[in-house]
Amino acid sequence: MLPIEKIQQAQSILSSVIERIPLSFAPRLSKLLNANIYLKKENLQRTGAFKIRGAFYKVALMSEEERARGVIAASAGNHAQGVAYSAAHFGIPAVIVMPESTPLLKVLSTKELGAEVVLSGDNYDEAYAKACEIAKERGLCFIHPFADEDVMAGQGSVALEMIEEQELDFVLVPIGGGGLMSGIASAYKALSPKTKIIGVTAKGAPAMRESYYSKQIHNAKSVRTIADGIAVRDVHALNFSYICEGVDAIIEVDDEEIASAILYLLENQKLVVEGAGATGVAALLHNKLALKPSDRVGVVLSGGNIDVTMLNLIIQKGLIKSHRKMQFQVVLIDKPGSLQQLTNTLTKVGANIVQIDYDRTSTKLDYGDAYVTIALETKGEQHEKQIRQELKAQGYDFKEIL
């Protein structure tokens, strides 16, 4: 494990730069889960994620000669902003290579911090290969997002703050490459060894979990998850060794579970959290960890840099699944009054129409007919049932769109 003295040094250096965000008790989530849940809100951190910790500590330790050469990093977003911010702080040039699929928010935020951004590859690992190529060509110092002990130590400062504030029985930490987990596990094993350290991975990025349980490295053939911050294909031996030594279990959540956690945090905690940051709450909401009422559980919300388009999609799908939005399509005779009769039927049962699409040109229609697609705001499962019954009673043959 990392020496605790190194993590403590990182905390000291970072103290004037990062936001010290208190570990906060979550009453509603605790009541729901019948346990004591505490949130470490790194989504509120400077640059919107914990990554600034490791990046800044790494740059702070660099020699003047290394800084003069400039730095380069590969990242799906949060490490990019951490490196860009740190480079700007020390007045050194930075190049960031990001996957082509990186959300626009993260690309623009990185550019705003003064870094040169290069988009390359379909995932982090392909961006990493490009970054290594550029580093060699231009003589830049490469800052690895997770397989670097200085970076890990900086991330481990998250754990020191948690340990100082609250004794915990479990700590849930998202795992992609494993830099955050390597630092947190090292700190807890040194200072609070009774605390169980639980990693959470995305089902669409299974490499670290599969490697952990097989005790040998297994890289994924591909990665696909809305948790882009932990969408890592290949396991690095350095992080793998720390995780095998310091982590008590790794659990898995899928994209539907992650999306439900993002929506829950937005509605009930008033927090905007990205996919990777929501994995711990997703695991709890979907009963992936057996808890007792006396258990004290810390959950690291690792970041909040979520693309607005993705957030909107999660909200819209979430409203449908929670019976607060309903969409259906019906065929009407294309004549005056037909649409009004349909809307009157919906008004009768208290459905609020938010969108109507009227299509009379589809080649699938008989002449004289029209497709009408309607989106409604609804008041729960019983209300939706009432709407269906009324539509059927009035003779409408409709198809729900999920």
Return the structure tokens found at 170.
């479990």
Between strands 141-142 and 196-202, the pairing is unpaired
How far is Cα of residue 352 from the mean position of the Cα atoms in its chain? Answer: 32
Query: What is the CATH number assigned to the segment(s) 323-400?
Result: 3.30.70.260
Q: How confident is the model at residue 123 (pLDDT cuts 50, 70, 90)?
A: confident
**pTM score over 0.95:** no
Half-sphere exposure of 328 (CA within 13 A, CB side): 22
The pLDDT tens digits of the residues spanning 179-193 come to 999 999 999 999 999
With a pLDDT cut of 70, the percent of the chain lying above it is: 100
- For 52-142, give the CATH class: alpha beta
Nearest to 177 by CA among 124, 101, 250, 108: 124
**308 contacts 338 by C-beta, under 8 angstroms:** no
In the chain, which segments carry CATH 3.40.50.1100?
4-49+148-315, 52-142
pLDDT digits (tens, 9 = 90+) for 190-233: 999 999 999 999 999 999 999 999 999 999 999 999 998 999 99
Model confidence pLDDT, tens digit, residues 103-112: 787 889 899 9
Residue of 281, 292, 302 whose CA lies nearest to 169: 292
CA dihedral 64, 68, 69, 70 (to 10 degrees): 100
Tokens of residue 344, six digits = 């009157």
Mean pLDDT of 20-32: 97
Looking at the chain, which residues constitute the CATH 3.30.70.260 domain(s)? 323-400
What are the tokens at 13?
Answer: 């250096």
pLDDT(337) > 80: yes
Assess whether pLDDT exceeds 90 at residue 350. Answer: yes
Q: Classify residue 100 by its DSSP letter.
A: T
- Residue type, position 357, single letter: D
Between CA 350 and CA 243 the distance in angstroms is 54
What does the pLDDT read at residue 102?
Answer: 84
> pLDDT grade, residue 125 (50/70/90)?
confident
At 26 the three-state DSSP class reads coil
The mean pLDDT of the chain is 96
The length of the chain is: 402
Domain 4-49+148-315 is of which CATH architecture?
3-Layer(aba) Sandwich (3.40)
pLDDT tens sequence across 133-168: 999 999 999 999 999 999 999 999 999 999 999 999
Tokens 């403590």 found at? 8
What's the rounded mean pLDDT across residues 384-389?
97
